[in-house]
Amino acid sequence: MKKSLVILASLLYSLTIATPNSSLAATPNNSPAKQNKKQVEEPTTRSDAVIFKVHNIDPVETDGVVSGCDFTVTLFNRTSINFRNFTINMSWDDVVSERFKFDKYVESVMSKEDLIKFKDVIKEEAPTAPLSTSITVNAFGANKQVSVRSHMNSEKCYLMLKDARFNVTPCDIARNVSSLGDMSLAETNECTGLFQFVSTTNPEYYGKFKSISITEEAEQNSIMENQEMTDIDIVIGKIVDNLGVSDNTLNNIN
């Protein structure tokens, strides 16, 4: 940054020598440093949660038929909490099967008279059970990442690409002394609120988890960029002021 300012100052100074009567003026309102780019809001993650995602979903075949799913759950602990162990229970609604139930299709193509006539034959189907699985993680410290490979006996692997419902129980945690005052240890059986599921609609799903969200990272980069541009504006302003002094001196000599 300092090297860039020196180069810029040298360049502008050389221009003052080449054109001593130039009338440059600093216009902060029109400066590039004052032009902030509008950012489109995207799904983001919390800075005070254990974020996790389900990925690397691989169908497992038996005799040419999908019978299960291998998958990975990656977690990043952004909290100050050290976990002894916890279990994440996840479930996905089977929206596909609900939409394509055979009895509902039959009802949709039958007349009202036929529906009344065959009402004893056509019975209400039971709701499709959600896809469910659980993983257990042991000894998970603050600011750490872990990946757990697991398996589920179901052919509906595609449902795991959707947003999941989840709860975290049981949960055994040990917090730092600084976060609890005189209490160095706290135990609870439920800590769902400390976790956040990252779905495929979130840009952070497709990269490596970090200690801060991409939104926070973008904000920090924007602050640094604005500060650099402000420093450049200050240098330009000082050089323009010096140009005015140089013009006055030359006019007095003439």
| Adjacency order of strands within the sheet including 131-140 | 131-140, 81-92, 165-175
What residues does each domain of the chain span?
A: 50-94+129-209, 95-128
| Confidence tier at 42 by pLDDT (50, 70, 90) | confident
Q: How confident is the model at residue 189 (pLDDT cuts 50, 70, 90)?
A: confident
Compute the average pLDDT of residues 156-161.
92
**For the chain, what percent of residues have pLDDT higher than 90?**
44
Rounded to 10 degrees, the C-alpha dihedral 171/174/180/183 comes to 110
Mean pLDDT calculated for residue range 182-186: 42
| 250 has a pLDDT exceeding 90 | no
Radius of gyration of the chain from Cα atoms? 31
Of 1.20.120, 2.60.40, 3.30.70, 3.30.1680, which CATH number belongs to 50-94+129-209? 2.60.40
165 vs 36: which has the higher pLDDT? 165
How sure is the predictor about 177, in pLDDT bands with cuts at 50, 70 and 90?
very low
* Residue 122 CB-half CA count within 13 A: 17
Single out the residue of 252, 246, 241 nearest to residue 26, CA to CA: 241
Assess contact for 136 and 86: CB atoms under 8 A.
Answer: yes
Per-residue pLDDT at 48 exceeds 70: yes
pLDDT for 238: 73
For 107, residues 6+ apart whose C-beta sits below 8 A from its C-beta are: 115, 122
